[in-house]
Amino acid sequence: MSKETYDARQPRVIVTGNPVDGSNFIGLFPNSASAIERADHDGRLDADWWIAPLERPRKKKRARPGRLRRKQARLEG
């Protein structure tokens, strides 16, 4: 889990499968409780399943050109 705090209200999906055969993602559920309720009562799911949070993509930090040149100069000099 990321460094962010756990939030039971964060959107979730159900994950089934394994690394060899592949994974299936089911849902979009508004919270953990809804996803668990569905997984517990869906007879079509494998015995092993997990609830996974959906996280927003992280913003990439933009490189500052001047700073990069200073770092390169230090490495070269």
Higher-pLDDT residue of 5, 1: 5
Whether residue 18 is predicted with pLDDT greater than 50 in this model: the reply is yes
| Cβ count near 29 (within 10 Å) | 19
- The C-alpha R_g of the chain, in whole angstroms, comes to 21
Question: Is residue 17 within 8 Å of residue 24, measured between CB atoms?
Answer: yes
pLDDT tens column, 48-69 = 899 999 887 778 776 666 666 6
- pLDDT for 2: 44
pLDDT at residue 74, rounded to an integer = 67
What is the pLDDT confidence band of residue 11, given thresholds at 50, 70 and 90? very high
Q: CA angle, 65 as apex, 63 and 76 as ends, to 5°?
A: 105
pLDDT on residue 56: 77
